Amino acid sequence: MNTAPPSHLFSPIQIRDITFRNRIGVSPMCMYSCSDGFANDWHMVHLGCRAVGGAGAVLTEAISVLPEGRISPDDLGIWKDDHVENLDRVFRFISEQGAVPGTQLAHAGRKASTGGLRGGGGPVDEAQGGWSPIFSASAVPFAEGDPIPVALDPAGIQRVVQAFADGARRTFDAGGQLVELHAAHGYLLNQFLSPLSNFRTDAYGGSFDNRTRLLREAVEAVRRVWPERYPLFVRISATDWVDGGWTLDDSVALAAQLMPLGVDLIDCSSGGGAPNVRIPVGPGYQTPFAERIRRETGILTAAVGAFTEPAQADQIIRNGQADIVLLGRESLRDPYWPIHAAKRLGHEAPIPAQYARAF
């Protein structure tokens, strides 16, 4: 009979050979603060501060595996070896604070070449730092009036697969211990998954197995270069929130495909694949996705989405709805949320010695 106490928000969790000090991760959040993809002092302070604040894992923003895969001209990049040195400095500091550093490898697809923080974030032309062409599963724009992307040909698809593998290798070279593939929010991998954006008639379109092929090939390519001892996550949009789009049933089936390929955890977000969609946003609104995928496949899951209260995050872990929680906006508002949460929940807080007198 198992009499072990239930896991809670401040229980360590081991995934492969990596032990996370608690179940709290900093979710990838775009900063749009780079030149030519290079990490800089902003990333050192932004990411480092959240490691000091007690998070168990700290992920970079979506980091572009190809220059044409950037969301904006100001995105963080990992498409060349020159990017490694600056990332190494950031990751070394995160590790020294007791957190696990990692990257979210991404390609924006048809959502590339936008303004980021420049004037509303819509598409930008070359005079504003943008570029063309942009690429997708099919030659269909994201929204009316957006640039029409070029449908990737077989050579282009293999270039993308190799770029994800190269991004994982560079993450390792920089001292990262965690990689997440971004297959959510209407970006390239998600564009292949969803029937709302994939109208191909070749081996990468049509059936469910065909639409999931690119992601599976990217996972396999990453796993060939990413150390066996290190975790691999995949972020998905568990539903498009649109009739005829990607569904939670699809997400369960996808997770079952990815687990034997070496994926350790599904990061369960949603939406982003179609414009003007009404989503019932509220604290924990995406947690049921993580719970069902975990229950029906046995894979680890992360819950994300508008968490603010420590008690709610703790109950998600205690109730077995997810294995970790990832905080985005709340970690921007309060970099020390894990310390405050531990004190409120009656656990030992991960307070750095330099800050102990303040807490």
Structure tokens at 153: 């040909």
Asked if residue 22 lies in contact with residue 57, where contact means CB atoms within 8 angstroms, the answer is no
Residue 187 catalytic? yes
Exposure string of 114-137, with b = 16+ CB inside 10 Å and e = fewer, is bbbebeeeebbeeeeebeeebbbb
Which residue(s) pair with 234 in the sheet?
181, 266
Structure tokens at 358: 């303040």
Q: Which of 184, 151, 144, 186 is nearest to 274 (CA)?
A: 186
Asked if residue 48 lies in contact with residue 97, where contact means CB atoms within 8 angstroms, the answer is yes
Q: What span, in angstroms and rounded, lies between the C-alpha atoms of 130 and 216?
A: 30
- Alpha-helical (H) ranges within 174-305 are 188-193, 208-211, 213-225, 248-258, 287-297
Structure tokens at 161: 């697969």
Asked if residue 75 lies in contact with residue 62, where contact means CB atoms within 8 angstroms, the answer is yes
The two most distant CA atoms of the chain are separated, in Å, by 67
Q: What span, in angstroms and rounded, lies between the C-alpha atoms of 182 and 226?
A: 16
Active-site pick, 32, 187, 230, 336: 187
- β-pairing, 18-20 vs 13-15, is antiparallel
CB-based burial label for 144 (10 Å; 0-12, 13-18, 19+): exposed
Q: What span, in angstroms and rounded, lies between the C-alpha atoms of 305 and 25?
A: 12
Q: Which residues are catalytic?
A: 187
